[in-house]
Amino acid sequence: MRTDTVLLPEQTVIFLSGEIDLGTVGTLYEAVRACLDTRPARLLIDLHEVSFCDCVGLRALLQTKDETLRAGTDFRIRGPLRPLVARLVDHTRTADRLGLSPAAPEGPV
């Protein structure tokens, strides 16, 4: 996974790309902690380039949200989510907890 952080006056954006899993969540945690040290009003995590996220990655995103809110910083996730990530969020019913709208169903209804 790759992270790029952009500091803006109104928020800090962490762009993630690649896979969020057991082998990469440490990188996510490091980027978030460095961001929270700057005390931004809002932390925005951009997931539109994340190709895969497993349960460990999802847990890391949920913990990131909790840690960010405890620090007094607003938390947002931006997509759109790629199909594998959207499916994980849909199957685990964590869209609301992450602040996302439910994933659109795939294929004909």
**CATH number of the domain within which 25 lies:** 3.30.750.24
Please state the separation of Cα 84 from the chain's center in Å.
Answer: 14
Q: How confident is the model at residue 104 (pLDDT cuts 50, 70, 90)?
A: very low
Averaged pLDDT, 13-26: 96
Q: Using DSSP bridges, classify how beta strands 42-53 and 74-78 pair: parallel, antiparallel or unpaired.
A: parallel
- Give the integer Cα–Cα distance in Å for 44 and 32: 10
- Give the integer Cα–Cα distance in Å for 59 and 65: 10
What mean pLDDT, rounded, does the chain reach?
90
Q: What is the pLDDT of residues 82-99, one digit of tens each?
A: 999 999 999 999 999 998
Extract the runs of DSSP E, i.e. beta strands, from the chain.
2-7, 12-20, 42-53, 74-78
Q: Is 108 among the domain residues? A: no
Q: Is 53 among the domain residues? A: yes
Averaged pLDDT, 29-58: 95
Q: How confident is the model at residue 108 (pLDDT cuts 50, 70, 90)?
A: very low
Q: Is 109 among the domain residues? A: no
Question: How many domains would you assign to the chain?
Answer: 1
- What range does the domain containing 26 cover? 2-98
Q: Is 90 among the domain residues? A: yes
Task: Choose the weakest-confidence range: 6-20, 21-35, 75-89, 92-106.
Answer: 92-106
Q: Using DSSP bridges, classify how beta strands 2-7 and 12-20 pair: parallel, antiparallel or unpaired.
A: antiparallel
| 66 contacts: CB under 8 Å, gap ≥ 6 | none
Name beta bridge partners: 45: 14, 77
Residue 78 pLDDT > 60: yes
Higher pLDDT, 69 or 106: 69
Q: Is 104 among the domain residues? A: no
Q: Is 107 among the domain residues? A: no
